[in-house]
Amino acid sequence: MAQSKQEINDLLAKSIKELAAGKSIDKIRIKDITDKAEVIRPTFYNHFQDKYELIEWIMEHELIEPIKPLLDNGMIDAAIMLLLKNIENDKAFYTAVSNMEGQDTFETIATRLVANVLEEIIDDDTQEISKAHPWLTKKMIAQYFSKTMCFVVKIWIDSGMPIDSAEMVEVYSLLMKTSLVDVMGEKK
């Protein structure tokens, strides 16, 4: 019985997640993924270029897609909460992903995904900012916020997720709403 593209993607995702529980993602080979999924190597390459593209697909479908409706409705804290909950629920995998080294890291993949979704939803009112500061484009604003968010999330993951997702949302919200001037204090 032929499997759909989605079923194969899910099977490969499950395979790499199970493998990541036992070894570094950097040491997982495509052969390991396909053997675990009980598919042939060409099947993998019909769906993904490499394991990093598979990881990006997982992050897109498990972290980004579920939060889009919340972001579209301006429910930013709820979206961040859901994203963090999904990371918490798959702690072993996202810890392994956070430890990836090289060109494709958790931060590069996550930053790209978050920037893409932010660019889609940032209000067109930012055109007023761009008129006053032409260099400060919608894309640049999306990249700024995605990099800061992914930086904070990576530290949270790397430190073992010592606080729960609800407290993490409070921390992130505080960081986003507090200016550097407030943190440093007014200098006279």
pLDDT tier at 30, thresholds 50, 70, 90? very high
CA 86 from centroid of its chain's CA atoms: 10
* Percent of the chain's residues with pLDDT above 90: 70
Q: How far apart are CA 107 and CA 87, in angstroms?
A: 14
Q: How far apart are CA 163 and CA 2, in angstroms?
A: 44
Note the pLDDT of residue 79. Answer: 94
Q: How far apart are CA 13 and CA 25, in angstroms?
A: 13
Q: What is the pLDDT of residues 89-101, one digit of tens each?
A: 999 999 999 999 9
Q: What is the pLDDT of residues 32-81, one digit of tens each?
A: 999 999 999 999 999 999 999 999 999 999 999 999 999 889 899 999 99
* Percent of the chain's residues with pLDDT above 70: 93
**100, 26 contact by CB (below 8 A):** yes
Q: How far apart are CA 155 and CA 54, in angstroms?
A: 23
Q: How far apart are CA 160 and CA 156, in angstroms?
A: 7
1.10.3720.10, 3.50.50.60, 3.40.50.720, 1.10.357.10: CATH of 51-177: 1.10.357.10
Take residue 36 and report the two structure tokens written for it: 């675990």
Q: How far apart are CA 126 and CA 122, in angstroms?
A: 7
Model pTM score: 0.88
Note the pLDDT of residue 139. Answer: 87
Quick check: helix, strand or coil at residue 178? Answer: coil
Residues 6 or more apart whose CB falls under 8 angstroms from that of 1 comprise none
Q: What is the pLDDT of residues 108-122, one digit of tens each?
A: 999 999 999 988 888
